[in-house]
A and B are shown apart, each in its own frame.
Chain A
Amino acid sequence: MSEKIKLYDASKCTACRGCQLACKQWNALKAGQTEHKGTYQNPPTLQPNTYMIIHFQDYVAPEGDVRWLFRKEACMHCTKAACVTVCPSGALYYNKEFKTVGMDREKCIGCKECVSACPFEVPRYDKETEKVYKCDMCETRITNNMNPACVKACPTGALKWLDKDEALKIAEGRVQQLGGDANVYGDKFVGGTHLMYVLKEKMDVYDGIKKDPKVPQSIFVWKNLLKPLSLLAAGGVIGAELIHYMIRGPHKPHPEHYEEAKKQGGA
């Protein structure tokens, strides 16, 4: 078995949203009361009960052509996943086989560190259950040789579940075929994502897309510097105290303190 990638080809997506529904069905996610706010995009954002949405975006190209852009938003399954790095409980982990980011909700303690750390703003915290939710690439399916539910539902082949090498090759091929501003999104950051896009337009054009997603610097600072420092400092202090105790000994009253006491006491 090998590393795999879910390839989303925006140029083939018709926004039928079969994927969005299949995701809800497989993961047994409840529907929420939504409101029509003047867009087809609903629910408007990812939610604890919505692991993926299709974005709908009207776009007028510089040359005046109208386009309707669609984009699937879901967990990107980073190779260097900030969420896994910060997760204190091991609830978030790398799938050893596919390198996707799985989630063991039993272990989630609802600390929300992943919510802040994720450069794609994917994990969502649910107040009711006090746990975090996100796409786990249908781990129950992929580990049983099935495609993720969204891939299974996709009629046009816009979503595919492929070996990494093949996915990269196909993505590159599509970009060549589409020409123009077409590009691959996902291979150039966070060590490569396991949800990758083929985009027809320049990346900048897509609303809400992360242009330069990174594992936040702060995570490095606190995970790699401050965390060890906390033990080092405490250890250093204890060590210094030991030495102090041996060399200087405990701090005891000087004779004058007793004398004064006597004087006082006598008075």
Chain B
Amino acid sequence: MKKQIVVVTSGYERFVHWLMAISCLLLCYTGLGMMYKELNFFGAIFGGLKGLKTVHDICAVFFAVGLLLAIQMWWKEAGVFVFPEDWEWIKAGGDYLWHVDHVPETGKYNPGQKMFFLTVALCGLLMICTGFFMWFPHYLPANLMDWVYVLHVLGFVVIFAFFFVHLYLGTIGNPGSVSAMFSGKMELPVLRMLHPKWVKEMEHEGKLMIVEDKK
């Protein structure tokens, strides 16, 4: 059976994704290193504890840029729920939790992905805002600052957990999907499974770019 490979992401999209992904990873790493005295040794690779703070601060800037670009780029496609089909999909558990004969078809991004995007966008903004004040605490009164720290950790709790969801679903949870973020290409069946409506729209509009037929 020949495999049909489809171009699904542009270079720009992948750049933004990895910009966020790498900075986010580093932020988590350095953040953990600073949050737990037991993990202070994380700093060793940056030349000491102070390095954790420096790397955290630098990554925060990259992350902020990445996040803003991502929001600007994906807001329309992934930031808005479309009813009733998204609702149907949610009711069906998106074919993830139990067997569904016919998975309700959704747009380019299914509600699960939309939820992830919104979480990242909102928590990311929260992290950036709170992080800003942590960097420059004199802009806020001390008693407000106390809660800034709480919010920053709260954001971390969510982002950190969702990170693993994302990692799972983007790799072994959905075999064949990870290539979208490396080569930018996906096998058509996988694409059809994950984004059936989008494939149809593209077909309809003749935009579906099949780049390769493998025998």
Binding site for B on A (CB under 8 A): 86, 88-90, 107, 109-113, 115-118, 121, 125, 130, 216-219, 221-222, 226-227, 229-230, 233-234, 236-238, 241, 244-245, 248, 250-254, 257-258, 260-261, 264-265
Contact = CB atoms under 8 A, between A and B. Distances in A.
B96 A222 contact: no
Contact of B164 (A90, A115, A238): A238
Contacts of B174: 250-251
Nearest to B147: A218
Q: Interface majority SS on A: helix, strand, loop or mixed? A: helix
Contact of B134 (A112, A218, A261): A112
A115 B137 contact: yes
Nearest to A242: B168
Contacts of B35: 88, 227, 230
Contacts of B2: 265
Nearest to B98: A248
Interface stretch (B19-27, B49-57, B64-72): B49-57
Nearest to A116: B145
A150 B52 CA distance: 36
Interface residues of B, number: 54
Contact of A237 (B97, B161, B190): B161
A251 B173 contact: yes
B142 A258 contact: no
Given A89-B40, A109-B49, A261-B189, A250 B156 contact: no
B164 A109 contact: no
B40 A230 contact: no
Given A110-B53, A244-B173, A251-B95, A257 B160 contact: no
Interface of B: 1-2, 4, 34-37, 40, 49-50, 52-53, 95-97, 103, 134-135, 137, 142-143, 145-150, 153-154, 156-158, 160-165, 168-169, 172-176, 188-190, 192-193, 196, 203, 210, 213
Given A115-B142, A234-B161, A251-B193, 4 more contacts: A110-B53, A121-B142, A227-B35, A264-B203
Contacts of B164: 234, 237-238, 241
Contact of B173 (A90, A221, A227, A250): A250
A248 to B, nearest CB: 7
A118 B145 CA distance: 11
A111 to B, nearest CB: 6
B160 A245 contact: no
15 contacts: A86-B149, A107-B49, A116-B149, A233-B157, A234-B161, A236-B161, A237-B164, A237-B168, A244-B97, A245-B172, A253-B190, A254-B193, A257-B192, A264-B188, A265-B210
Nearest to B167: A241
A110 B50 contact: yes
Closest 10 CB pairs of A and B: A116-B145, A218-B146, A233-B161, A253-B189, A253-B193, A216-B146, A109-B53, A88-B34, A226-B153, A257-B192
Q: Of A86, A109, A110, A264, which is in contact with the most chain B CB atoms at under 10 Å from its CB?
A: A109
A222 B149 CA distance: 7
Given A113-B149, A116-B142, A230-B160, A248 B97 contact: yes
A111 B137 CA distance: 10
Q: Of B36, B53, B174, which is in contact with the most chain A CB atoms at under 10 Å from its CB?
A: B53
Nearest to B158: A233
A258 B157 contact: no
B193 to A, nearest CB: 4
Contacts of B168: 237, 241, 244-245
B189 A90 contact: no
B147 A258 contact: no
Given A216-B146, A218-B150, A233 B96 contact: no
A227 to B, nearest CB: 6
A261 B146 contact: no
A109 B48 CA distance: 9
A222 B157 CA distance: 10
A52 B134 CA distance: 25
A263 B103 CA distance: 19
A233 B154 CA distance: 11
A84 to B, nearest CB: 11
A130 B149 CA distance: 19
B116 to A, nearest CB: 12
